Structure 1
């Protein structure tokens, strides 16, 4: 087994920190001659509202999907990541990232982490969930600050 990475998955939340996460992954991919895929996960609106709203949310979900794809392209395309390597999926972020990584033979997942402690850590974060369930290496990139006021 080689120590070189061949397929790197960059998981982003589409905030300004997404650029930092991608910029950390790019030199790793370059050094290894690895392919980069980038992914954003949308939670289904039904999860957020628990089915309490008696209406069809599919058109709103479609609009969110379209907006996410546009934002993802804004982040990925300037760095040469092709549209076929830009993915928006619907589901719970940690499990969808793990599933994608397993299905696509990803050997490194790069994800942002805010480095939360205490209750925020107990409640979980995407990076923690990905780390504990991934079958490949995970690089958690420290981003943002808990006390950020410039967002």
Structure 2
């Protein structure tokens, strides 16, 4: 691959431990390829949540609450990610609200993203069937390659 292979890399975070691990991969790839790192966080928009008992009740949020949540997310992005970038690293922060996979794909299309890097929580069995995952939806619908980073499984201590 040439150095021009990736010019825009999106790193998606939910501020989990797995996302933090994924950041290291995204940061290193962006640095290696001289790419702009797009840090993407999608805040849940509760009015988009599925209705409870088939009754839709829109919730009005205090604008101050939304502002506080937004500022907390912005602070976390600065502390956890931006502060760990090299001084010369190009980056852009995308703090969005909505349905995570939809917003990630929208950013990928609008910003001509070449690679999406995100964590995979590794749900299995019934939990995966019931909930699916944002990573699965992004992999299926993304206009570019997606690298999912999975944490190593912790070994269970042996029984004496």
- Taking the TM superposition and a 5 Å limit, the aligned residue runs for 1:48-63 are 48=49, 50=51, 52=57, 55-63=60-68
Distance 1:83 1:72, change over 3 A: farther
CA distance in 1, matches of 2:40, 2:61: 26
Q: What secondary structure does 1:8 align onto?
A: strand
| Residue aligning to 1:149 | none
* TM-score (ref. length: structure 2): 0.78
Task: Return the index of the structure with the highest Cα Rg.
Answer: 2
Distance 1:17 1:52, change over 3 A: same
- Unaligned runs of at least 5 residues, structure 2: 155-160
- Unaligned runs of at least 5 residues, structure 1: 147-151
Distance 1:49 1:102, change over 3 A: closer
| Residue aligning to 1:75 | 80
CA distance in 1, matches of 2:18, 2:97: 21
Question: What is the Cα-based RMSD across aligned positions, in Å?
Answer: 2.7
Question: Would you tell me which structure has more helix in proportion to its own residues?
Answer: 1
How far apart are residue 128 of structure 1 and its match? Answer: 0.6
CA distance in 1, matches of 2:10, 2:68: 25
| Residue aligning to 1:36 | 37
| Residue aligning to 1:114 | 121
| Residue aligning to 1:136 | 144
Where does structure 1 differ by over 4 angstroms across 4 or more consecutive aligned residues?
A: 48-51, 81-84
